[in-house]
């Protein structure tokens, strides 16, 4: 193969919002696959708020991306060469492919997907990591019961939009919090949430009190900060606060803003629990089957926000932090 691979590497650890100068664009010849390896032509890449954390030095649930390394990213692509058992040229696979045009991966580190069952980008959204996050975070950590009230922040995003829809499937009331009137309209009118609060134009604490007269049974937190505090102020007895993420804090150059209303946990005999989706990897296939079933029945909608061009990566990633995405943010690298 005489293919040149274009790659995006981490050049500097950002302070605050990542800048274009934090990345380098490099080219390198694509190697032949070794024994047990595949070469994948990357088609779509998943852009995730967690990438901001992976750019920082320090201990986390996964090691940071090293300076000079290709930026880590989940993706879906087509196999163009294989020396791995059970995988042939033409197969579509997902895995940690990285921000690049081609990825060399171990066959055991990628998973085959069927483009006839669902469009490829949905394997990065509802049927991918963010869908799994919504599924296990809500059902395993939140443990909803019918008629309970579930509140979710970043409700129009990849994880939040699925949390609210699964809450409805389980017979709960779903209230979304999002940062724009059109996002609020989308989650109610298109996704079937019961109500939504625009945190940029409304008093969240007051609006939640009105929408949740018996209190919040489950708060699925994607954002942290002031919105977490507003939700803590409105908990029902025995509420569960699911700590999924805290995007409002990821680019902060000062200490993370913790909740000041935490004694609401005591008063309401409530609990707050964090989780990492990767811990559920052995159950992804079963969850994806159930979610695909809900999609086929029209109960669960998948929406991807697709931006084309590897070279747009530095700016496209920032859409997550500026609230410019509706649904799962995906970078299209090449035509199928």
User: Looking at 55, 178, 235, 333, which residue binds ligand NAP (CB under 6 A)?
Assistant: 178
Helices (H), the chain: 50-54, 129-136, 158-169, 181-185, 204-211, 225-232, 263-267, 284-296, 313-322
Residue 211 has which token pair? Answer: 């929408």
User: Looking at 248, 264, 302, 316, which residue binds ligand NAP (CB under 6 A)?
Assistant: 248
* Between 146 and 285, CB nearer to ligand NAP: 285
Distance CA 242, CA 271 (A): 9
Nearest alpha carbon to residue 55 among 44, 64, 43, 68 = 64
DSSP single-letter state for residue 34: -
Q: Could you give the string, one character per residue 263-292, with x where binding to ligand NAP holds by CB under 6 A and - elsewhere?
A: ------------xxx---------------
Binding to ligand NAP by residue 222, rule CB under 6 A? yes
Q: Could you give the string, one character per residue 66-105, with x where binding to ligand NAP holds by CB under 6 A and - elsewhere?
A: ----------------------------------------
User: What's the min distance (Å) between Cβ of 1 and ligand NAP?
Assistant: 34
User: Looking at 179, 211, 239, 316, which residue binds ligand NAP (CB under 6 A)?
Assistant: 179
* Between 138 and 246, CB nearer to ligand NAP: 246
Residue with tokens 């908990």: 235
Binding to ligand NAP by residue 130, rule CB under 6 A? yes
Q: List, in order, residues 6 or more apart from 144 with CB less than 8 Å away.
A: 138, 150, 167, 170, 172, 217, 218
Total residues in contact with ligand NAP, by rule CB under 6 A: 30
- Name the 3-class secondary structure at 294: helix
Binding to ligand NAP by residue 325, rule CB under 6 A? yes
Rg (CA), the chain: 20
Binding to ligand NAP by residue 180, rule CB under 6 A? yes
Residue 188: CB atoms within 10 Å: 18
Contact residues for ligand NAP, defined by CB under 6 A? 48-50, 130, 133, 154, 156-160, 178-180, 183, 222-223, 244-248, 275-277, 320-321, 323, 325, 329
């Amino acid at each position: 193969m005489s293919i040149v691979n274009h790659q995006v590497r981490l050049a500097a650890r950002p302070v605050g919002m990542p800048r274009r100068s934090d990345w380098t664009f490099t080219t390198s010849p694509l190697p032949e696959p070794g024994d047990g390896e595949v070469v994948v032509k990357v088609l779509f890449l998943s852009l995730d708020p967690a990438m901001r954390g992976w750019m920082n030095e320090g201990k986390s649930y996964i090691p940071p991306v090293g300076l000079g390394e290709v930026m880590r990213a989940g993706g879906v692509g087509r196999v163009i060469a294989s020396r791995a058992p059970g995988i042939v040229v033409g197969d579509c696979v997902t895995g940690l492919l990285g921000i690049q045009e081609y990825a060399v991966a171990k066959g055991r580190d990628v998973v085959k997907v069927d483009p006839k069952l669902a469009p490829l980008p949905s394997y990065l959204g509802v049927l991918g990591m963010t869908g799994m996050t919504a599924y296990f975070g809500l059902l395993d950590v939140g443990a909803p019961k019918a008629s309970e009230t579930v509140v979710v922040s970043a409700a129009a995003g990849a994880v939040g939009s699925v949390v609210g829809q699964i809450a409805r499937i389980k017979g709960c009331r779903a209230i979304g919090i999002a940062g724009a009137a059109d996002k609020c309209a989308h989650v109610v009118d298109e996704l079937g949430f019961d109500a939504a609060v625009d945190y940029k134009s409304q008093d969240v604490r007051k609006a939640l009190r009105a929408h949740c007269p018996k209190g919040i049974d489950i708060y699925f937190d994607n954002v942290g900060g002031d919105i977490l505090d507003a939700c803590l102020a409105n908990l029902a007895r025995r509420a569960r606060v699911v700590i999924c993420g805290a995007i409002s804090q990821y680019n902060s150059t000062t200490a993370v803003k913790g909740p000041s209303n935490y004694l609401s946990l005591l008063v309401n005999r409530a609990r707050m629990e964090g989780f990492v989706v990767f811990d559920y990897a052995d159950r992804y296939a079963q969850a994806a089957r159930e979610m695909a079933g809900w999609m086929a029945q029209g109960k669960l909608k998948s929406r991807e926000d697709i931006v084309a061009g590897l070279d747009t990566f530095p700016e496209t990633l920032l859409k997550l932090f500026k609230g410019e995405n509706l649904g799962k943010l995906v970078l299209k690298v090449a035509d199928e």
